[in-house]
Structures are given as C-alpha cells and as structure tokens.
Structure 1
Amino acid sequence: MDYKQAGVDVEAGYKAVELMKASVEKTFIKGVLGGLGGFGGLFELDLDGIQKPVLVSGTDGVGTKLKLAFLQDKHDTIGMDCVAMCVNDVLCSGAKPLFFLDYIAVGKNIPERVAQIVSGVADGCEKSDCALIGGETAEMPDFYHQDEYDIAGFTVGIVDKDKILDSKNVSIGNKIIALPSSGVHSNGFSLVRKIFNIGECDLNEYHESLGKTLGDELLTPTKLYVKPIVELLKQVDVKSIAHITGGGFYENIPRALNDNVVAKIFKDKVQVLPIFKLIAETGHISEKDMFNTFNMGVGMIVIVDENDVDKTISILKSQGENPYIIGEIIEGQKGIDLC
C-alpha cells in the first residue's frame, strides 16, 4: 500500500500548485520576496512614513456558505469571501492589509477545483492590494466527503501606532455613515439554509425581487472595502469603524464604541437589500432578529465628526462606493438604539 491508495494523491497536489501559480503571482506587490514552494511566505516591510509600525492580524473562514458552492459546483468566488472576512476586519483598526495566506482542506484533491478556489482568493487579494504569499492544501480522506472542503485565511496589516483607530475618540454628535453590502456576505448561512431548505429547494429558480436566481444571490461574494477605506483614512480623521458580520448591527456596531456613547440608528435610513426582505418573509423572522443576525445591506460603518461628513461621502463616492448617513452618536451606556 502507498499514500495514494490511502487516499492522498501527492501528484494531484503538485498539479494544483502549478494550476494556481498564475493566479497567485498576479497578487505579488512590492515587498513580496521569493515565490511559491517555500516553507514560509516572505514579505519585506516598507516603513516609509511610518514612525511606530504596528502589525494587525486577522483570521476567518467562510462558514456554511460553502454548502452553496458545493451544491452549485461553483468554486471561483468563495475564496474572495475568505479574503474579505479577514481584510475587512483589520481595516477596523486603521490598518492596511499587506499579505494573506490560505488553508484549504479537501476530501479529495481535484487540482482544477483547488485552482478555482485559489483564483477567488487571488482575486480578493488583488482587489485589496494585498499579496497572497503562501498557503496550504491538505487532502483529508475519510474526514471530508470527496466533494467537500473547508477554507480559512489569515492576513497581516500595518498601521502607525499613533493612527490606530480608538473607540475612545468617538463622541456625542459624531455621524454614522454606512457603506452598502453586496448581499448576505458570509454570515448567517446556517439560518439561511434552514429557511430556504437548501439542498431540497431549486437554487436555479429566478426571483423577480432579486433580479437573479436564489443560488446566484446567495453566492455573491463578500464586498471588499480595503481601497475606499485606505483612501479615506489618508484624508479624514475617522473616529471608528465597524465591519458588520455575524451578529449584525447589535453585536458589531457597539465594538466601535466606548462605554459612554450610544449609536442611534435610523431604521428608515437603512437601505435594506431585497434578499433580506425575502429571508424575513420566508422565515417569518422578527425585525430584531434580522438586525441581530444579518448586515441588512450595510457591510461597514464609519464614524466621523459632523464637520467631516461631506468630505467623507465625497471621498468614498470617488472610490466607487454609495455611502449614506444612517445614524449619529448620542449620550448613554454603550449599545445601539435602533429607532
């Protein structure tokens, strides 16, 4: 018996690396040293203009959204979700992502499928000016079904210590600006799958309200906010940022606040996407639970001084965003007031 008979195809691993090579190399930015195949990814820091460099790290996966990729046999966007979940998080400290590494565990190494997954990772990195400098593919027969896999990622960013975003700087009168999401992103899919009976329903069914099939809507990649936020941080004294992920408004917005303020959110200002209306209606979910689970159409919020609102919106619009005010900071014990 050899390793291949035990279920691990080393040759398939070599082929997967060759197939993903072009995707990976397109992400190589200044600072990348070496290439694929080493035991570690090398990155040389450019500290020009940074007085007190601080590294900020983030890690995450994609969760059960992967089930949608399996069912539709579509694997070229799920990697972008993984990148977004990591790089969007480090932005909240004011950091610019530098590099990314991925980990893909498969039941059976099908090189073409692995290459598709990595192409999505590379696309996410390229859109974030972040280098994909390494990764790992593990073939784990008998642990994962041969048609299933898991993916996780890890990113490192950099910020000057004096420019780290601190919620202590949030004060009464500050305005809360929303950046729209692209859909459900990568959170709440355990609930979504139950509501739509994923696995039994027709994912190819066209929904007029969505303007696309349910399957296409749910696989829409998580939006990347790196370029607009990095540009904003260069020009505006941003007080705080929150990435709206699992836990929705109620869990994530307070993470951007100090103990003496409340985020007052105007529900009628939130531009709720059609998919969330469909989820609420189909699952008979209360408004409170919707805002406590999903992003509701808001993928990220930035808190700025009232005098910086117009400038902030102008900069974000110049970066292709459609920002709008959804609330303000008022006095109170840390939390949100959804009114």
Structure 2
Amino acid sequence: MRYKDAGVDLDKQKTIHAVARRLLSGGEGAYVRWIEIGSHDLALHVDGVGTKTVWLLQAGKIEVAGWDCLAVNINDVVCDGFKAVAVVDYIAVSPGLEDAAARVLKGLERASAEADVVILGGETAIMPDVVNGIDVVCTVLAVREAIPRPPSIGDYVVGVESSGPHANGYSLLRRLFRLDEEICGVPVAESLLQPVVMYHKILPLFQEGLIKAAAHITGGGFTKLKRALGNLGAELELGQLPCWARAVLKKGVPKDEAYRVFNMGIGIALVTDKPADLVRRLEDLGYSARVIGRVKPEGSIAVDGVRVS
C-alpha cells in the first residue's frame, strides 16, 4: 500500500506548494522564511498534527496533540538556526469535542514550558459540517540564533532517533494497523502515539561548529535531506530499524515509499565534519544519535540502498 492509496497524493501536494511559493518573499532557508527587523531575523512558521489526532482521540491521549503541535514547529525552525520564542494555536473541533480542545491546551502548556516558549493566544472553533473530529495547528514566532553552513562532499550525516512516526504518515498507518493490535508485543496506542521528540537543545551545537546543516525528517521522509544538502547527495545506512518501522515494511509498504513517508526511526539528520564530537554532545543532551551516512557529490539521496530522491 502507498500513501496515495490512503488518500494522500504527494504529487498533488507539491502542486499546491508550487502555487503558494509564488506568493512568498523574505529570506529563505531550508524550512522557514524570515524578515529582518533591526538587527534580528524573525520568522513565522506554521505546522499541524494532522490525522494523528484521530487515533489520539480514540486512545484518550489527545493532550499529545498539544505537545506535538509545538514540537513539529520547533523542529523545523531549529534546522535554520532559529529559536521559537512564542506560539499561537488554532484548534477546530466538531460539536461534542469541546472538552478535547481544553486537553490539547494542557499538552501545549507542557510543551511550551519544556522549550521556554510563550503562548500568546489562539483560536478555538466549533465547526459543524466542516470538521469531523479535531484539527490542531500551531504557529511560532522564532528568532535566529545561528546560521547553518553549506555542507561539503565527505561530510558525515548523524541521525538523531525519533520516538516513533512523530506526526507524519498517519493516514497510511491507520490503514495498516488497528489501534487495538500490538507491534512486537507493544500496543499500537503506545508504539505509534508517542509525543514528538523536541530537538530544540541542538541549537547551541550550530554555534559550537558541530552542526553545519540539519534536516527535520517529517512529511516526505528522507527527501527532506535535500533541503540541507542543496545540489549534493548522500548515501545513508540506518542500521537496525525500530520495530514499528519494520512492521510498516512487513505490512507491504514498498521500501521506496516507506522512506519517503516515514522517518523510519530518525527524527532529524545533522550534517557535520566532526561526527564523534557531535554524537557525544548529543548524548550529553539526552538524545540517542549515531552516524548514518556521508555526503556525496551526486545529487541523489539513497537510504538503505533505496533511492528516495
């Protein structure tokens, strides 16, 4: 089964993106755009939790959506050297789910405290006939604290582990698995609904010269690494995949599709010329990390022998 079979056509999504890009201005990074105000680069960035909320509601874990809503934005902006400083949310619910919105805000409160981000406001809408469930979106204001550097041929790619699929691919996951089944002896509600790991702690490592560039592995999977590499390519070997990722492949998702949709256990990929020092510092910060590849002169990305871009 492919993502398109679950109702998500990535080619059509690219067409929408192409239309939107014609409207954009300001400075452009790998994930964010910014404007200069005085001596500061300021960015606004928006992202949401997507259809993960369907399972979160059913599992009684909708607070996770509030955490994830901020985490996915933080993980994007940090790739361009920005620190999120404030957030606003948009929560749309169908009638009867008003209490769920309040629980989402609890999760957002915990995430903002963890990342030292101020909640400035938001919008909660009850939308009969438009929303069937709950949609959770956050927008962050971020300030630049570091400037990524261009990668070079021969640089290393360090992968930092994810907690699961994070907040991507759930339209497909919900067709592959039932919420009440187990993956390697662990209930789906546990293995696939963990909160997104926040990678905000890596920001000082840009300033220390340990990180040249970064790619948040989200929608589009490992194709996102091209945002960090530009015209260069990379060859990656992930090693032992986490159990949930192996289960996705066993369910019949082709490898080329899996690596374009899911993070397969790697939440963020970091380009460096000091791999040992970077891995050590990441572990000091509480992350699990390892070298997963090298930067190549050619422009393609290959993961575990599968070309994804």
Range class of TM-score, shorter chain = 0.7 to 0.9
Corresponding residue SS for 1:77: helix
Q: Is the 8 A contact 2:44 2:139 kept in 1?
A: yes
* 1:214–1:187 Cα change, 3 Å: same
* Rg comparison, structure with higher value: 1
Question: How many angstroms does 1:111 deviate by?
Answer: 5.2
* Matching of residue 136 in structure 1 with residue 123 in structure 2: yes
Decide which of 107, 110, 113 is 2:100's aligned counterpart: 113
Which residue, 265, 270, 275 being the options, matches 2:236? 265
Between the aligned partners of 1:105 and 1:286, the Cα distance in structure 2 is 34
Shift of the alpha carbon at 1:335?
Answer: 2.5
Structure 1: unaligned runs, 5 residues or longer:
1-50
Q: Is the 8 A contact 2:206 2:212 kept in 1?
A: no
TM-score scaled by length of structure 2: 0.81
Q: Deviations over 1:210-268 (max 9, x none)?
A: x42112222211111112x123223225211000001111x201111122x211212xx
TM-aligned CA distance change 1:108 to 1:327, over 3 Å: same
Paired position in structure 2 for 1:285: 253
Q: Which amino acid aligns with 2:164?
A: G
**Where does structure 2 lack aligned partners over 5 or more consecutive residues?**
1-37
Q: What CA distance in whole angstroms lies between the structure 2 residues aligned with 1:258 and 1:279?
A: 29
Deviation of the 1:112 alpha carbon: 3.7
In structure 2, the partner of 1:183 is 164
Q: 1:172 aligns with which of 153, 157, 174?
A: 153
Secondary structure of the equivalent of 2:84?
Answer: strand
Listed as ranges, the matches of 1:67-86 within 5 Å are 67-86=54-73
Residue aligning to 1:14: none
With over 3 angstroms needed to count, the CA separation of the structure-2 counterparts of 1:232 and 1:109, relative to structure 1, is farther
Please state how far the C-alpha of 1:128 moved relative to its aligned partner: 1.7
Superposition map of 1:297-308 within 5 A: 297-305=265-273, 308=274
Percent identical among aligned pairs is 31
Q: Is the Cα–Cα contact under 8 Å of residues 183 and 218 in structure 1 kept in the other structure?
A: yes
Offset, 1:109: 6.3
Residue in structure 2 matched with residue 150 of structure 1 by the alignment: 135
Residue 295 (structure 2) aligns with: 329
- C-alpha distance in structure 1 between counterparts of 2:61 and 2:269, whole Å: 30
Aligned-pair CA distance for 1:106: 1.5
Equivalence for 2:9 = none
Q: Is the Cα–Cα contact under 8 Å of residues 177 and 324 in structure 1 kept in the other structure?
A: yes
